[in-house]
Amino acid sequence: MEGGSWAPRRWPCLPGITLLALASLLSCLLSSGQAKVYSRCELARVLQDFGLDGFRGYSLADWVCLAYFASGFNTAAVDHEADGSTNSGIFQINSRKWCKNLNPHVPNTCQMYCSDLLNPNLKDTVICAMKIVQDPQGLGTWEVWRHHCQGKDLSDWVDGCEL
């Protein structure tokens, strides 16, 4: 045998940021397998069952309009903002204040992970949205609602849905 010793080959350690990125990607891939894109009337019925019609003075049509312009009725929608925050789920709820993402230093007012908002069941999403609407801005917290839904005739959003 020649000089020197045999040692097992070492694998390079991935930096922490790479591991976080891989975990985030895996989370997106896993949740996308559970994605659901609701139809307008199907979503209206689900939101009505959760008690959103008339909640804090907002009609069911307000909520359906918000969901359409926020995510296209897609429960797995995730949008990444320039500040590093994310908007998640059918209502695009932001991680800056409302849910917990990878940043441990956020308020997490809804007391849930942002990935919980990607569930097609919508229970966690509705619970969080109800907390958000109690904010003084109400649905005005969502810029898309202010621009596309506020002050408009929204009756078409629930027309023909047999609620």
pLDDT (average), residues 11-24? 47
The least confident of 29-38, 46-55, 87-96 is 29-38
- Give the rounded distance of the alpha carbon of 86 from its chain centre: 8
3-state helix, strand, coil in the chain (%, to 5): 45, 5, 50
- Give the per-residue pLDDT at 103: 74
**What's phi and psi for 95, nearest 5 deg?**
-80, -10
Cα–Cα dist 89/82, whole Å:
18
- Give the per-residue pLDDT at 30: 46
Digit-coded pLDDT (tens) for 65-101: 999 999 999 999 999 999 989 999 999 999 999 999 8
pLDDT (average), residues 38-53? 98
The least confident of 23-32, 44-53, 74-83, 100-109 is 23-32
pTM for this entry: 0.79
Instruction: Please name the helix (run of DSSP H) or strand (run of DSSP E) that holds residue 80, with its range, or none.
Output: strand 78-80
Name the one residue in this structure whose structure tokens are 């926020």: 70
Pick the residue with more confidence: 103 or 1?
Answer: 103
Q: 3-state DSSP call for residue 41?
A: helix
105 confidence band (pLDDT: 50, 70, 90): confident
* Domains along the sequence of the chain with CATH: 40-157 (1.10.530.10)
Instruction: Please name the helix (run of DSSP H) or strand (run of DSSP E) that holds residue 44, with its range, or none.
Output: helix 40-49
63 confidence band (pLDDT: 50, 70, 90): very high
Ramachandran quadrant class, 4 (left: phi over 0; alpha: psi -120 to 50; beta: rest): left
Average pLDDT over the chain, rounded to an integer: 86
pLDDT over 50 at 11, yes or no: no
Digit-coded pLDDT (tens) for 122-149: 999 999 999 999 999 999 999 999 999 9
